Amino acid sequence: MSSYLRNIKDTCVTVFEGLAVTFSHFVRRPSTVQYPDRTALRVQDTLPFRYRGILEVDLEICTGCLACERACPIDCIVIDVTKDQETKEMVMTRFDIDMAKCMYCGLCSEPCPTGAIHHTPEFEGADYSLESLVRRFVKDPVKTYKPKKGPEPDPHVAVLLERGLRYVDEFAAPETKKPTGTKAA
């Protein structure tokens, strides 16, 4: 009998309390992010620097070392580098990343000496064909980047390089903070 009455009391008290809890939620701000069109900022702009989105390559600072191609466990990166017979300079004729194969492991951007290959916060990759997911970065053959002694003279490249090295620092080995500037520049 006492448990019977206790059940009735518990039911009344818990329902009362439960309704109070849900009512307190009723007057709170909803936490829904209304992606994609009703956000204060683009969602891409709110993501952290180290977010592993779609890969991108800054050809201006790519040394053509093929470290990323070798690191890729599923061979989604293909790079062709040849030596220009006239100028004796290394020229990249192809830098393709198949984003349909890419599994966003980040192993390619870890060994990159300049941070040329890096993940972007972009994640919207929907497209109408698999073929168009292959990102071809080299339109015309480009010369590979050679690390300079001293500061980078070209201001445009300097900005990219600074960003790339910061990326490598934070991405590849954020635990063991190596002093910047030892690899290049």
Partner 1 sequence: LNILQYAADLLVRSLFKADPASWPYTWIAYAVVIGVAAFIAFAFVAIFAGPVSWIERRIAGRIQSRIGPNRTGPQGILQWLADGIKCWLKEDLVPASADKPLFLAAPYLVFTGMFGAFVVLPFGAHVVAADLNVGLLYLLAITSLVVVGVLMAGWASNNKWSLMGGIRAAAQIVSYEIPAGLSVMPIVLITGTLSIQGVIARQGWAPTDWFLFNNPFTFVAFFTFFTAALAEGNRTPFDLPEADTELVAGYVTEYTGVRYLMFFFAEWGNLYVIGALVTTLFLGGWQIPPLTSNPVLTAILQFLTFFVKSYFWALVAMWIRATLPRVRVDQLMAICWKYLVPIAFVNLLGAAAWVALVPAGSRVVQYAMTALGAALILLFMQRVAFHLRRARVRERGDIYLSPLV
Residues that bind partner 1 (CB under 8 A): 4, 7-8, 11, 15-32, 34
φ, ψ at 116 (rounded to 5°): -65, -45
- Give whichever of 10 and 75 is closer to partner 1, judged by the CB atom: 10
Give the list of residues 6+ apart from residue 110 with CB closer than 8 angstroms, or none: 71, 168, 171, 172, 173
Question: Minimum distance between the CB of residue 11 and partner 1, rounded to whole angstroms?
Answer: 8
Pick between residue 19 and residue 173 the one whose CB is nearest to partner 1: 19
**Least separation in angstroms between CB 10 and partner 1:** 12
Which C-beta is closer to partner 1: that of 34 or that of 93?
A: 34
Cβ 43 to partner 1 shortest distance, Å: 16
CB contact at 8 A, 115 and 65: no
Integer Cα distance of 114 and 117 in angstroms = 8
Pick the closest to residue 91 from 69, 112, 56, 63 (CA basis). 63
Shortest distance, position 42 Cβ to partner 1, whole Å:
19
Q: Which value, in Å, is the radius of gyration of the alpha carbons in the chain?
A: 26
CB 124 → partner 1: shortest distance, Å? 19
Question: Which residue lies nearer to partner 1 by CB, 15 or 130?
Answer: 15
Pairing relationship of beta strands 77-83 and 142-143 according to DSSP bridges: unpaired
When the beta carbons of 3 and 182 are compared against partner 1, the nearer one is: 3
* Listed residue (102, 19, 41) closest to 68, CA to CA: 102
